[in-house]
């Protein structure tokens, strides 16, 4: 059964709702408003969960499937909050051919999560991304903003451990 607006709003933190309402007010008349609004929500809230998608769709008077379609198509949108650190795996052609899938498999094994997921302690999110322009160093991963090239699968546990150790020190 479809949820009423009240039920949808009840699932949204009031502080988050306030941010979204401000974004809606500022952007709803702009050309390409849906994309602009979703970008702003991702940037300011950090994620666009199913309740947020429902709320935005209701407010814009568009089908929720349209919002969901955009959110799931672009990898920079996430439906859950990202972890403190993000490790991206480049799925561009050079990195794919260079074996980036094995790096992702290794990270999956070490952390017990898949691409698009965050560790339960909120420390690390694994993501896939498009070419980051460092093809000559394939396969490439991006640890936060730091591009690392020619990564071998056996280096992945070390890279992830460094993030965990850095956290323990802080």
Residues of this chain that bind ligand FES (CB under 6 A): 90, 92-95, 131-135, 138, 140
CB of 136 to ligand FES, least distance (A): 8
Residue nearest ligand FES (C-beta atom):
92
Residue 146 CB, nearest approach to ligand FES (Å): 14
- Report the nearest approach of ligand FES to the CB of residue 139 (Å): 7
Smallest gap from Cβ 159 to ligand FES, in A, equals 17
In the bound state with ligand FES, the residue whose beta carbon lies nearer, of 111 and 140, is 140
Query: Residue 113 or residue 132: which is nearer to ligand FES going by CB?
Result: 132
CB-count exposure of residue 69 (10 Å: 0-12, 13-18, 19+): exposed
Rounded-to-integer distance, Cα 143 and Cα 109, Å: 17
């Amino acid at each position: 059964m479809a949820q009423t607006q009240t039920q949808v709003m009840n699932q949204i933190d009031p502080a988050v709702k306030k941010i979204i309402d401000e974004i809606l007010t500022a952007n709803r008349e702009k050309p390409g408003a849906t994309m602009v609004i979703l970008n702003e929500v991702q940037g300011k809230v950090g994620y666009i969960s199913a309740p947020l998608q429902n709320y935005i769709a209701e407010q814009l008077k568009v089908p929720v499937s349209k919002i969901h379609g955009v959110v799931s198509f672009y990898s920079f949108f996430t439906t859950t909050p990202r972890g403190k650190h993000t490790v991206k795996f480049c799925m561009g052609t050079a990195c794919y051919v260079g074996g980036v899938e094995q790096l992702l498999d290794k990270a999956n094994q070490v952390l017990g999560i898949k691409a698009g997921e965050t560790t339960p302690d909120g420390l690390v999110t694994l993501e896939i991304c498009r070419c980051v322009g460092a093809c000559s160093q394939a396969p490439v991963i991006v640890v936060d903003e730091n591009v690392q090239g020619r990564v071998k699968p056996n280096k992945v546990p070390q890279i992830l451990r460094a993030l965990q150790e850095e956290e323990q020190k802080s």
